[in-house]
Amino acid sequence: MSGAPHEDIDAHSGTATTGHEWDGIRELNTPLPKWWLYILYATIVWAIGYIIVYPAIPLISGHTPGVAGWTSRGAVTQELAQLTQQRAPMTSTLEKASFSEITKDERLRTFALAQGRAAFGDNCAPCHGAGGGGAFSFPNLNDDDWIWGGSLEAIQQTIQYGIRSTHPDTRIGIMPAFAQILNTKEIGQLVNHVRALGGLTTENTYDKPLADRLFGEQCAACHGDGGKGNIELGAPNLVDSIWLFGSDKASILQTLARGRASMMPAWNGRLDDTTIKALSVYVQSLGGVKTVP
């Protein structure tokens, strides 16, 4: 606590100065209270204590752990555990509830939607997009077309066992490669026919009677006589405006000639049943639930 010699007293104010001078401007010394200084010392002591108790000093690989054993990862785990505990009553209700119970109970449905949204972001968004908007070969979950059915039970089964997955109970439906069955001309006719079914333009070479016959022989077994698809087999509706693999001539040609067999993994075992249930509710809500009269 040294200061300036007492000769350095400012003539105007009669106050001692610190002896510091900048371009003729001198700093007056108005002594601070001692406790102010002691608070500074106290903060230094506090800092030392903090360094001992908490992780503080970076080392070459890692850092000093601190005697309290606190880690940010540990804190997150603890918070998550607390959250799980808080949600436990609702989670167990959801676990036991049937889909019709969930639909009727606004509170339970809201909870399922929130859980489903979180699980969707973690597990489904990489393929289906953050909002379930889909992409080429990954279905858009926001539209009103459900290849394997849009009921909650159907969606649940799809999520549980997947599509063309490795699970024994998986949904299977394969679009075969017709390049080995039909010749180029016949495939060309079918390309035009599929486009015509979907209300799109056709080429002049389109021979409807021939195409009708070919469709009846090769396609109707799965896609139905009118091309309206079959949910049981996962055969898409061809007369609607939704094209999972593209509606242009080249894409349809590729689909017909080479076949299509995109895959959705089975989530059974990776996600628990309650999460899958919540996901089903959420995914169905994306596609729009009709106003209940």
Site residues (CB under 8 A) for other proteins?
1-6, 9, 14-16, 18, 29, 31-37, 106, 109, 129-134, 140, 142-145, 199, 237, 240-242, 285, 288-293
- What is the spatial distance between Cα 165 and Cα 173, in angstroms, rounded to a whole number? 11
> Using an 8 Å Cβ cutoff, are 275 and 263 in contact?
no
Which amino acid is present at 65? P
Nearer to other proteins, 109 or 277 (CB): 109
Nearer to other proteins, 76 or 289 (CB): 289
Distance of closest approach, residue 272 Cβ to other proteins, in angstroms:
25
Distance of closest approach, residue 140 Cβ to other proteins, in angstroms:
6
- What is the spatial distance between Cα 153 and Cα 165, in angstroms, rounded to a whole number? 18
Nearer to other proteins, 187 or 279 (CB): 279
- What is the spatial distance between Cα 176 and Cα 286, in angstroms, rounded to a whole number? 31
Nearer to other proteins, 77 or 241 (CB): 241
**Neighbouring C-alpha atoms within 13 Å toward the C-beta of 30:** 1
Nearer to other proteins, 16 or 191 (CB): 16
Residues contacting 26, CB < 8 A, separation 6+: 8, 10, 17, 18, 19, 20
Distance of closest approach, residue 143 Cβ to other proteins, in angstroms:
5
Instruction: Classify residue 290 by its DSSP letter.
Output: P
Distance of closest approach, residue 79 Cβ to other proteins, in angstroms:
18
Nearer to other proteins, 9 or 179 (CB): 9
Distance of closest approach, residue 123 Cβ to other proteins, in angstroms:
16
3-state secondary structure of 195: helix
> Using an 8 Å Cβ cutoff, are 172 and 164 in contact?
yes
Distance of closest approach, residue 88 Cβ to other proteins, in angstroms:
21
> Using an 8 Å Cβ cutoff, are 97 and 91 in contact?
no
